[in-house]
Structure 1
Amino acid sequence: METISQHANMKKVTDLLRGLYKQYHYSPKAWRELRELVEILNIKIWKPANLGGTRWLPHIEKALNTLMRDYTPVLTHMENTLETRSASADMLGRARQCTQLLFVGLVQVILQVLSCLSLKLQEDGVTLPSALHAFETALLLLTSMATTPGECLERFLEDTEDEHFHSVPLHNCSQESRDGFARVKTELLDTVQESLRKRFKDVETPCESSR
Structure 2
Amino acid sequence: MSDGTTDISVTENEVVYIHFAINGVTHCYFVGMVACAFANAAGIYDAIMTALNATELRLEDIKRRIIGFAGDGASVNTGQISGVIALFRRNISPEIIMVQCMSHRIELSFKDVLSNTPLYKKVYTLMDELYKMYHKSAKQTRGLRASFEALKMWAMPTRVGGTGWLGHTMTALNVIWKGYKAFALHLNEVVSIPSGTSAVQPKAKHLIKLLRSKDVMLFAHFLTDLVAVLVRLSMALQKRQTCIYEVRQELETTTLNIINLHTSPGLNMRRLQAALAVGDKYQGEQLHGQSATYEAQKRKVLDNLVSSLDKQFADIDKGLLSCTSIANLQSWPPTFEDAPDFGNDMLAQVVDHFNNHLQQSVDLAVMDAEWTSLKHDLYEKDLGMERGFSQLKIIRTQLRNKLRASTLTALLTIQLHSAEIAEYDPTPAIHCWNTQKRRRPLFLRSVSRGHCRRPAADEMRYLKAEAEADAAAPDVQKPEDPNLDSDYDSHSESDFSDLGSAHNVSDADSEESVLE
3-state SS of 2:316 partner: coil
Q: Which amino acid counterpart does residue 146 of structure 2 have in structure 1?
A: E
2:296 paired residue number: 183
Alignment of 1:61 with 2:177, yes or no, is no
User: Higher helix proportion, which one?
Assistant: 1
**Which residue of structure 2 lines up, in the alignment, with residue 202 of structure 1?**
315
Alignment correspondent of 1:27? 137
Answer yes or no: is 1:134 the counterpart of 2:230.
Answer: no
Aligned to 1:163: 280
- For residues 130 and 60 of structure 1, what CA distance do their matches in structure 2 show? 26
More strand by share: 2
Count of residue pairs the alignment pairs up = 206
Does the 8 Å contact 2:117/2:297 carry over to 1?
no
Q: 1:61 to 1:5 in 2, by over 3 A?
A: farther
Q: 1:11: Cα distance to partner?
A: 1.3
Please tell me the residue identity of whatever aligns with 1:182: E
1:4-19 aligned at under 5 Å gives the runs 4-19=114-129
CA distance in 2, matches of 1:185, 1:52: 22
Distance in 2 between residues matched to 1:45 and 1:7, nearest whole Å: 31
Partner deviation per Cα, 1:134-183 (whole Å, 9 max, x = no partner):
100000001111110111111111112211100111111xxxx2233222
Q: Give me the TM-score of the superposition, normalised by structure 2.
A: 0.39
Q: Which amino acid aligns with 1:50?
A: R
Deviation at 1:58, TM superposition (A): 1.0
Would the alpha carbon gap of residues 157 and 147 (structure 1) be closer, same or farther in structure 2, given more than 3 Å must change? Answer: same
1:184: Cα distance to partner?
A: 1.5
Give, in whole Å, the separation in 2 of the partners of 1:187 and 1:105: 16
| Distance in 2 separating the partners of 1:55 and 1:122 | 12
Give aligned-pair identity as a percent: 27
Name the amino acid aligned to 1:133: Q
Is the partner of 1:33 in helix, strand or coil? Answer: helix
Provide TM-score, normalisation by structure 1.
0.91
For 2:484, the equivalent position in structure 1 comes to none
* Runs of 5+ consecutive residues of structure 2 not aligned to the other structure: 1-109, 327-342, 350-516
Render the CA deviation track for 1:65-89: whole Å, top value 9, x for unaligned.
1111111110111001104331111
Structure 1 stretches of 5 or more lacking a match?
Answer: none
Q: Does 1:88 align with 2:204?
A: yes
Give the secondary-structure state (helix, strand or coil) at the position aligned to 1:81: helix
Residue identity in the other structure for 1:67: I
The match for 1:75 is 184
Residue pair 2:276, 2:282 contacting (<8 A) in 1 also: yes
**How many angstroms does 1:51 deviate by?**
2.2
Please name the residue that 1:152 is paired with. 268
- Aligned partners of 2:128, 2:207: CA distance in 1, in Å? 10
Q: What per-residue deviation string (whole Å, max 9, x for no partner) do you get for residues 17-39 of structure 1?
A: 12111111111111111111221
User: How far does the alpha carbon of each residue in 1:50-73 deviate from its partner, in whole angstroms, 9 at most, with x for none?
Assistant: 123122111111111111111111
Supply the distance in 1 between the matched residues of 2:127 and 2:239 (Cα, whole angstroms).
31
